[in-house]
Structure 1
Amino acid sequence: MKMTSFLLRIDDILRRQPWTTRIGGARSALSWLTVAIVVFGMTYGAVMGVFGGVLGDRALQVLYSAIKVPLLLGATFVIGLPSFFVFNTLFGLRRDFGEAVRSLMATQAGLAIVLASLAPLTMLSYASSSDYSAALRVNGLMFAAASFAGQWLLREYYRLLIARNRRHRWMLWTWLIIYVLVGIQMAWIMRPFVGAPGAPVQFFREGSWGNAYTVVAKLICDAVFRR
């Protein structure tokens, strides 16, 4: 019965049922959304970490990856929230900020659920190829697909807010920009998520506190200007 109730609540998140964002019972809703982010984020993270196997030290990589995916989602959300609050205040939307945050939390939960649903495809790709670079690309593709689904879900959650005040449309795009910029940097800092076979298992890679954007820019420059 409890499992059925849990699955129904997960279905409610994807179907954008009112309890996920309503003011009444907000604490209970946020608790459920947090549970969904942790459970489904850890599910996909564990699958990410099994690329090099699950024996010996590699079991620790599975655990690390399981912890880091919900941590990535949560840290990106928390770091981006203060600036989002300031923008909402500047645009005169502070009164709706609580509902906006609940919509963002529901979207985070939806993103984690979509990620977990893609885990079997990631496992299939691991079984089909032992190439580490290919594994990184597959996981990048899965995160991109989940992020796209999350963006669509967020737009649906924001529909009522936009109908109330069109300036929320600007805030929707503002959040997406903030989330992407912070998320890329946080993913860079928190690597490795997959873990190269034969490499020592680490929670954080040495030199992880670099700038993701300078690395991306260098890769683009090397690709464009190399002889």
Structure 2
Amino acid sequence: MESLLTTADDILRRAAWTTRAARVGPAVWRLGACLAAFALWYGAVMGAFRGLTGQEQWLRQMIYSAVKVPLLLCGAFVVGLPSFFVLSSIAGLRRDFGESVRALVAAQAGLAIMLAALSPLTIVWYASSTRYDQALAFNGVMFAAASLGAQYLLRQYYRPLISRNPRHRKLLVAWAGIYVLVAVQLAWLLRPFVGSPQQEVQFLRPEAWDNAYVKVAGIAWRALLGSP
């Protein structure tokens, strides 16, 4: 546990092993392990809503959610990585690809660490409100806050690369677009994370494979028209 917290502190402070040009591979594995551990923690807290509101099957939901948050963060990263590699090659930045990946993984680990740091607030919110819609909204705010912090951390990790070649700045913007597109669809697929009190606990919902963007557009359209 102490080693894990030390690693988290190193990531947030950009310790030498997280930025050294040599030995990129071992650093990526260490960053990935930290990402998985802290994402698992926040997932378990996220799924504790049923337990704190006195519902059945709360332990199963906690386990499912603890698995899903690392799957979301790691899955969105892995699915988006081939596109990022192609863009890096087109931009003539393939030589820096290893360092770029390490910076991206460090930012993902930072996102998980920040989520874990915010988990006490999530528990307090669950203890203060039994409304499912508010629990969803609050978790959305937590992810948004952690994502902002992770973006700041990513820019700090990317600063040496941008100084070496300004084209990295455009590639960073491209990565943000790729990641968001993948993450939104993957988050829809992996629902539920909190667990609706009106439904049985299940790992995936029947409509998991629907297109998230079509569904969101439909919800927005019905809201504008005032139709059910």
Q: Shorter chain as normaliser: what TM range?
A: over 0.9
CA distance in 1, matches of 2:19, 2:82: 20
Identity of aligned residues (%): 55
Give the number of equivalent residue pairs. Answer: 225
Name 2:93's counterpart in structure 1.
93
Deviates more, 1:132-141 or 1:52-61: 52-61
Q: Offset at 1:10?
A: 1.1
What are the superposed Cα offsets for residues 39-77 of structure 1, whole Å, 9 maximum, x if unpaired? 100110001111011775221110000001011111000
Name 1:136's counterpart in structure 2.
136
Q: Is the 8 A contact 1:88 1:94 kept in 2?
A: yes
Letter in 1 for 2:175: W
CA distance in 2, matches of 1:18, 1:213: 41
Letter in 2 for 1:226: G
Letter in 2 for 1:16: R
CA distance in 2, matches of 1:63, 1:180: 25
Q: Is the 8 A contact 1:14 1:110 kept in 2?
A: yes
CA distance in 1, matches of 2:89, 2:143: 31
Letter in 1 for 2:45: V
Aligned with 2:18 (options 17, 20, 28): 20
Name 1:34's counterpart in structure 2.
32
Matches within 5 A, 1:51-200: 51-53=49-51, 57-200=57-200
Matches within 5 A, 1:215-226: 215-226=215-226
CA distance in 2, matches of 1:128, 1:16: 36
CA distance in 1, matches of 2:81, 2:12: 22
Alignment TM-score, normalising by the size of structure 1 = 0.94
Q: Is the 8 A contact 1:21 1:106 kept in 2?
A: no
Q: Is the 8 A contact 2:43 2:67 kept in 1?
A: yes
Letter in 2 for 1:13: I
Q: Give the 3-state SS of the residue equivalent to 2:36 in structure 1.
A: helix
> Which consecutive aligned stretches of 4+ in structure 1 deviate over 4 angstroms post-superposition?
none
RMSD of equivalent CA atoms: 1.5
- Where do 5+ consecutive residues of structure 1 fail to align? none
